[in-house]
Amino acid sequence: MPSRRSFNSGTIAQKAGFLLLILMFALGLALSVADKLERIGEPDAGFLLNDVFIYPTRDDAADAGLRYGGRLLELNGRKVEPDWAWNAQPLGVVRELGGVNRIRIVRPGGEVRELSLPVRKWTAADALYTQGAIDIIGLLLAALGIGTFLLRPWEPESWSLLAIACLSGGALEALYVPNARDATFRPLYFSLLVGFVYVVPFHIALTFPMAPRKFIRVRSGSIAIYAFGALLSSLTLGAFWLELPVLERVARPLGMGTFLAAILTMVGRSGWLAFRAREPVVRDAAPETRYQFERIGYFVTDRHQHQPGSKIVFNRTVGLKDSWAK
């Protein structure tokens, strides 16, 4: 197997990047925990808006027929305008305990329904029902990325896995935190994060299972990827704060299209490597990469004749003792 670097061998800049990615996830987790502590025990209408979609915040709202992906048409006899989607709670919502909100929705299947949702206190059970699964997935993603990185620190493929795990995990943790104009940090955090989440599969595609040699040398690919991610984040943030429909119509399709292209690129390169060779990691190994072949000995790729991606040449450095022939 190839020789590995230890975590302590990393430079100050590398360790700072490692801590920054963990911090990005930790901020999302902190937002999620703070939101739950603030909302538990407070009056809850039973629903929130995420862009143009409505989703339940309690199990009784889901039992009444409210589903993720539905759209809010009317609230208490008033037609909902599209710009209400920027608020966690739309205008005209009843928030007093004992009150009732009457809503008219379009369910994901196209069925139009009218529901009456009472206002009651939000509980820890409600938090677990609506956000528990997504929070656990975010935690597992981050743990997987950090654990994998510590097994193979400072390798290009480890960086890409850590990035997608921490960025995606942080986005999942903050996904259902209410997003209102008077809440500054959450929209700032999520808008900055989502652009990089859109492009990080490109990073995976370029580095996993092993980065091409020319990509390691130049590193311009990763710079271009995250520069474009920063542009997407800027568009998303501007669409929220400026409330420009034109900017929103550009940011959302561009972001989702980029994410789809990144996923297809990641899957396509993995399939291409699998089809091209049985062991792409060995084939793309750099000269003088050390391996141990079980029951044979220790080998190193030839300094001069080995050509990554095309010609594989190994030199045996240490042979195993053949005691069975005596």
Residues 6 or more apart whose CB falls under 8 angstroms from that of 288 comprise 300, 301, 303
Determine the residue type at 130. Answer: T
Cis peptide bond prior to 209, omega within 30° of 0? yes
- Please state, in angstroms and rounded to a whole number, the distance separating the CA atoms of residues 84 and 90: 5
pLDDT above 70: residue 222? yes
> Is residue 55 within 8 Å of residue 68, measured between CB atoms?
yes
- Indicate the range of 98-102, 178-182, 305-309 predicted with least confidence: 178-182
291-300 pLDDT tens trace: 666 656 777 8
Between 49 and 84, the higher pLDDT residue: 49
Question: Pairing between strand 297-301 and 290-293?
Answer: antiparallel
pLDDT (0 to 100) of residue 18: 96
Q: Show the tokens assigned to 96.
A: 């007093």
CB atoms within 10 A of CB 13: 8
The mean predicted confidence, pLDDT, of the chain is: 82
- Cα 158–chain centre separation: 15
- DSSP 3-state assignment of 82? helix
Write the DSSP string, 2-66.
Answer: -----GGGS-HHHHHHHHHHHHHHHHHHHHHHHHHHHHTTSEE-SEEEETTEEEESSHHHHHTT-
CATH architecture of 43-122: Roll (2.30)
Query: Count of residues for the chain?
Result: 326
Cα angle for residues 144, 147, 151 (degrees, 5° grid): 135
pLDDT (0 to 100) of residue 310: 65
The one-character DSSP state at 303 is T
196-208 pLDDT tens trace: 999 999 998 888 7
Confidence at 141, pLDDT banded by 50, 70, 90: very high
The pLDDT of 148-166, averaged and rounded, is 91
Edge-to-edge strand ranges of the sheet holding 290-293:
290-293, 297-301, 314-319
235-281 pLDDT tens trace: 888 887 777 778 878 888 999 999 999 999 988 888 877 666 555 55
The pLDDT of 59-78, averaged and rounded, is 88
- Please state, in angstroms and rounded to a whole number, the distance separating the CA atoms of residues 323 and 184: 71
Give the phi and the psi of residue 313 in degrees, each rounded to 5: -130, 120
pTM for this predicted structure = 0.76
For the chain, the domains span 7-35+125-281, 43-122
